[in-house]
Amino acid sequence: MRKLLNTLYITNEEYYLARDGENIIIKEDGKTIRRFPIHILEGIVCFNYVGASPGVVKLCNENNISITFLTPNGRFCGKFIGVTNGNVLLRRTQYRISDDDRSLMIAKRCIEAKLINSRKVYLRLLRDHPDKIDSQKIQKVTDYLYNQIQVVNDIREKESLRGVEGDAARIYFQQFDSLILSQQEDFKFVMRSKRPPMNRVNAMLSFLYSMLTYEVQAALETIGLDSYVGFFHTDRPGRASLALDMIEELRAYMVDRLVLTMINRNQISKSDFEVKENDAVLLNEKGREKILTEWQKRKQIEITHPFIKETIPIGLIPYVPPQLLSRHIRGDLDEYPPFIS
């Protein structure tokens, strides 16, 4: 199992990345602010327009470190992954599977795991806070998700699977507001809204879903899989379909639970957001820093992975599904085993 290293997040819009030997240095107005040895990093995420020097790109390329460029509000601009795995045979098999019936079986496993992990978010609430919630409403959600898990097993075509996944996501988020036990007025959640997010909870979810997607995409490319050719999400120019497939099973465990924890523990407040002229709600710089700090802390927590039976930091979870998927594609595993928390 690989070692969990650090991701460097650049949230200040005025910072510029430069190289000094085997170090990444952060500069502002020509002055060096911080210095990081390249060997402690596994990725860089920049929330600014200033960017990085060619020397930084070359250093990251030599050390197989990804650089993701986002706008200050978190919109994706581009990604540099460096030298990718040259396993052309693995990708050829991936392309063949994406065009035949085997892709449905992989997609079903991803969505089955998503529904199981989503249901567990509500079950935790029933277990830990039965006196603070409407147990009857929550039970209806868990019952519905349980029934849909059974439905997935009998599905024979992708369009039906997409319908089940869409309906399940809608029901899941219908009662998501019930999971918010603190700051309920400031973090009112009505429905999922993405582009743009229309409330603070959606802003947090969208931001962290993006972070998760970039990490899974880098993991897929490192393994040698094509992150743009998926089995569940339809192919579209510029869309990392396979990365989106892979994060479905991870959303509830890695993102939703963190968002709820931060709100319920008052680790974030309404002052960490800004409202735009079109009523879009976005994280400000302070809010992004708070979320990324907790994101990194959560990555350090160790769990026993349910399939490989190894103790690993949560931060390595996004790297396991691509490895297991590649083993399934090569024929080493009869089925793709998704992550079930």
The residues of the chain that CATH labels 3.100.10.20 are 6-80
CATH code assigned to 89-330: 1.20.120.920
pLDDT at position 233, please? Answer: 92
Q: Which residues pair with 19 in a beta bridge?
A: 24
H helix or E strand, kind and range, residue 60? helix 54-62
pLDDT at position 85, please? Answer: 57
Q: Which residues contact 282 (CB under 8 A, 6 or more apart)?
A: 73, 74, 196, 197, 203, 273, 274, 275, 276
CB 186 within 8 A of CB 139: no
pLDDT at position 2, please? Answer: 54
Q: Which residues contact 43 (CB under 8 A, 6 or more apart)?
A: 7, 8, 65, 66, 67, 68, 214, 215, 218
Do the bridges between strand 16-20 and strand 6-10 make them parallel or antiparallel, or are there none, so unpaired? unpaired
Classify domain 6-80 by CATH architecture.
Ribosomal Protein L15; Chain: K; domain 2 (3.100)
CA–CA gap between residue 337 and residue 95 (Å, rounded): 20
- The two three-digit tokens of residue 223, written as one number: 């393994």
Over its length of 341 residues, how does the chain's per-residue pLDDT go in tens digits?
A: 455 567 788 878 788 899 999 999 999 888 898 889 988 887 888 877 777 889 988 998 888 888 888 777 666 777 777 666 557 889 999 999 999 989 999 999 999 999 999 999 999 988 888 887 778 888 999 999 999 999 998 899 999 999 999 999 999 999 899 899 888 888 998 888 887 888 999 999 999 998 899 889 888 887 889 999 999 998 888 889 999 999 999 999 999 999 999 999 999 999 999 988 888 899 998 999 999 999 989 988 999 988 888 888 888 888 889 989 999 999 999 999 999 98
pLDDT at position 86, please? Answer: 58
The residues of the chain that CATH labels 1.20.120.920 are 89-330
CA distances from 270 to 131, 175, 188, 286 (A): 26, 21, 11, 11
To the nearest 10 degrees (0 to 180), the angle between helices 320-330 and 200-223 is 40
pLDDT at position 84, please? Answer: 60
Q: Which residues pair with 36 in a beta bridge?
A: 24
CB 229 within 8 A of CB 235: yes
Q: Which 3 state secondary structure label does DSSP give 82?
A: coil
Length of the chain: 341
H helix or E strand, kind and range, residue 47? strand 41-47
Q: Which 3 state secondary structure label does DSSP give 168?
A: helix
pLDDT at position 280, please? Answer: 87
Cα-based angle 153, 157, 158 (whole degrees, multiple of 5): 95
